[in-house]
Amino acid sequence: MNERDLVQLIEQTLKDEEVQNNVTYRNLLEESLQQLSLKKPVYLVSTRLAGHISTYLMTNHYEAPKAIIVLAQSIASTPAKHRGLISIPFWLSNIFR
């Protein structure tokens, strides 16, 4: 997912009335938009956002506005990709031992 797609997805989610009424979600999404405007890497912003959404869902009996669920599903693979990229140097270092 590129930066433009993520920004559009977050802005679309922020327009949802249920999200607007939930201070935690609203602040989290606005903070993510701010990080993207500061040119933070998209994979870091989306990984952090996915983690926060997952934690919030677990602590609130897996109840969330539909817009948040759609956002979470859209960025769900990002943390796994990020962890996979981090593991490459470790795998390569084991080859040369």
Q: Rounded to an integer, what distance in angstroms lies between the CA atom of residue 1 and that of residue 92?
A: 26
**pLDDT at position 59, please?**
93
Alpha-carbon distances of 38 from 5, 9, 42, 45, 56, rounded to whole Å: 16, 18, 11, 11, 25
**pLDDT at position 86, please?**
67
Kindly give the confidence (pLDDT) of every residue in the chain, 97 residues in length, as a single tens digit, with 9 standing for 90 and above. Answer: 889 999 999 999 999 999 999 999 999 999 999 999 999 999 899 989 999 999 999 998 988 999 999 999 999 887 666 666 666 677 777 776 6
pTM value is 0.78
Residues 1-18, buried b or exposed e (16+ Cβ, 10 A)?
Answer: eeeeebbebbeebbebee
Written as one letter, the residue type at 59 is T
**pLDDT at position 58, please?**
93
**pLDDT at position 84, please?**
65
All domains of the chain in start order, with CATH: 3-95 (1.20.1440.50)
